[in-house]
Structure 1
Amino acid sequence: MAKGKLKNDVQTFIVQSLACFDTPSVVVDAVRKEFGETITRQSVEGYDPNKKAGSNLAEKWKALFEETRKTFLEDTATIAISHRAVRLRALQRMAEKAENQGNMVLAANLMEQAAKEVGDSFTNRRALVGADGGAIEVRTLADFYGNIKSGTS
């Protein structure tokens, strides 16, 4: 279906979905379910100003796309899985289910993942102080190799 034949609310939905990184295939399915409209992936791509197909997109749609993308990237607080507590609760449910089903390997893997989540393994946070608030001991390879030659380590 051509861009001009779609209703304004459908076009808005397409632009906003693409701005939130939905693929054209996902948008096609969502438009069919939400509005009962059948459109093609190629027509959806015409609403993405970052694609060649969307290079002639009207300014109002480009502005909506940019504003939606900016808001989406800045506002991760509304995405439940972005919160550690939500991820830990989900891991808890999965681990309990795996254990109840006798899948101990999966349960152990989920517990390990939860431990990593709590221990900041999935963040870029790094300790800036050592034990008891002291300095972090820094050892170089030269120190290591020097200790090997002298018989200490």
Structure 2
Amino acid sequence: MATLREPVKVFIVQSLACFETPQQVADAVKQEFKIEIERQQVASYDPTKPTGKNLSKKLKDLFHKTRAEFKTNVFSIPLANKAVRLNELQKIYDDPKMNRILKLKLIRQFKDEMQGYELQLLDIQLKQLEIERIKTGDGEGADDPTPVKVTIQVVDASRSDAEYQPDTECASGKVSTTSK
């Protein structure tokens, strides 16, 4: 096994945290740092695997932090953005070397990308209207000023003679100012 410097270790840990395979990481290390390492050595830098159980706390923390950021920050990946995907498809479509069959496939892919887009816009508009209706107090969403009385009755269920007794005051709708 090759002895690795700290920047290489950090590169390996962050790559594995972004769900790259050990072979992909080994190839990337060879290309980036001109160091040839085996995929088994790369796998030892993954704390989620048995081979990575002896990884330093610093590298484990880096792995988990990087993985959490990677999972939550999907929008930093350009292809996760629909506009970027459509733009790339448009560039391919505009290529003069593109034949009709491939253009037809691209049109279908465009259609698939756009499916549901109108529904998303409609949902956004409906939500905005609902928020506006609640703010202005119009219709069913308006606040109801009718007071409501809530009574909680505690019964000792451990007693053998305990049983449910409805509160006649609540049933009648009368409000009492006296306390028991």
Please confirm whether the aligned pair reaches a TM-score higher than 0.5, indicating the same fold. yes
Question: Could you tell me which residue of structure 2 aligns to residue 105 of structure 1?
Answer: 101
Q: Deviations over 1:1-22 (max 9, x none)?
A: 25xx210111000000000111
Rounded to whole Å, the distance in 2 between the matches of 1:110 and 1:34 is 35
CA RMSD of aligned residues (A): 2.2
- Aligned with 2:111 (options 115, 128, 150): 115
TM superposition shift of 1:102? 5.6
Rounded to whole Å, the distance in 2 between the matches of 1:102 and 1:91 is 12
Question: Could you tell me which residue of structure 1 aligns to residue 83 of structure 2?
Answer: 85
Rounded to whole Å, the distance in 1 between the matches of 2:111 and 2:23 is 36
Rounded to whole Å, the distance in 2 between the matches of 1:18 and 1:36 is 19
Rounded to whole Å, the distance in 1 between the matches of 2:76 and 2:8 is 23
Question: Could you tell me which residue of structure 2 aligns to residue 145 of structure 1?
Answer: none
> When the two structures are aligned, how many residues end up with a matched partner?
122
Rounded to whole Å, the distance in 2 between the matches of 1:117 and 1:102 is 20
Q: 1:64 to 1:102 in 2, by over 3 A?
A: closer
Which of 1 and 2 has higher RCO (CA within 8 Å, sep 6+)?
1
TM superposition shift of 1:104? 1.4
Higher helix proportion, which one?
Answer: 1
Rounded to whole Å, the distance in 2 between the matches of 1:120 and 1:58 is 47
Rounded to whole Å, the distance in 1 between the matches of 2:109 and 2:93 is 10
Q: TM-score, normalised by structure 2?
A: 0.61
Is this contact kept in 1: 2:18–2:66, CA < 8 A? yes
Rounded to whole Å, the distance in 1 between the matches of 2:86 and 2:92 is 10
Rounded to whole Å, the distance in 2 between the matches of 1:102 and 1:88 is 17
Is this contact kept in 1: 2:92–2:98, CA < 8 A? no
Runs of 4+ in 1 over 6 A off after TM superposition: none
Q: TM-score, normalised by structure 1?
A: 0.72
Rounded to whole Å, the distance in 1 between the matches of 2:98 and 2:29 is 41
Gaps of 5+ in 2: 124-180
Is this contact kept in 1: 2:13–2:59, CA < 8 A? yes
Larger Rg: 2
Identity value in percent: 43
